[in-house]
Amino acid sequence: MKNVMYYIASASSNRNDYVPHIHKLIQDGVDGTELVLDWPKMANLFQESKDAGEFKDKDDEDIARKSIRNMEIQAILNSDIMIVALPGGNGTHFEYGFATGISLMTSVRPRIVVYAPSASFIQGDLGHFVGLDGTVVIVGDEKKLVDAVSKIKSEINSKRLSISGVIQ
């Protein structure tokens, strides 16, 4: 069976500790999953290049930023599951809206899981979005996040089996 692909959207300030922690939870807790894009690694390489003065001018920096954004958009399109790890920043809101729009307008549908360490993030960060159909919201308990991803993975694989005509 093909791996279920996932993407993690979160604030760039979460790239060094929180996002890798969420990734490790999923990798350790759900077999048959694969991270589509390690954007924290790309963001860190971008920052290192910027700090080292490797961009000739503002245009070079803008091109690099757009390239990263395009890779993130493509990653969302290639994802079976998108995990929104709150707190999020402007990019997180954009990615969530993009994934939601895709799911409402096409049959291409990354399943969306919003994870918040506490309820205060849901009310203040993405509270107006979480009522949308198909969005799973997990607050606080990391095990519930892993369980939700595992359940969605099973649902995706069941659909893949029924589409291919294989009956178990």
Instruction: Give the Cα separation of 43 and 87 in Å (integer).
Output: 17
- Given the structure tokens 């954009």, which residue do they identify? 94
Supply the pTM of this predicted model. 0.87
Cβ–Cβ contacts within 10 Å for residue 149, how many? Answer: 26
pLDDT by residue (tens digit) across 139-155?
888 999 999 999 999 99
pLDDT: which is higher, 88 or 23: 23
Instruction: For residue 92, give the 3-state DSSP assignment.
Output: helix
The answer to whether the beta carbons of residues 107 and 73 sit under 8 Å apart is: no
Q: Is the dihedral of CA 40, 45, 46, 51 positive or negative?
A: positive
Provide the pLDDT for residue 167.
Answer: 46
pLDDT by residue (tens digit) across 26-66?
999 999 999 999 998 988 899 999 999 999 999 999 999 99
Residues with Cβ within 8 Å of 34's Cβ and at least 6 positions away in sequence, in order, are: 3, 4, 5, 6
H-type helices in the chain, by residue range?
18-29, 39-51, 58-77, 90-105, 119-124, 142-164
Phi/psi at 69 (5° precision):
-60, -40
Q: Residue 137's closest CA among 116, 123, 153?
A: 116
Q: pLDDT above 90 covers what percent of the chain?
A: 54
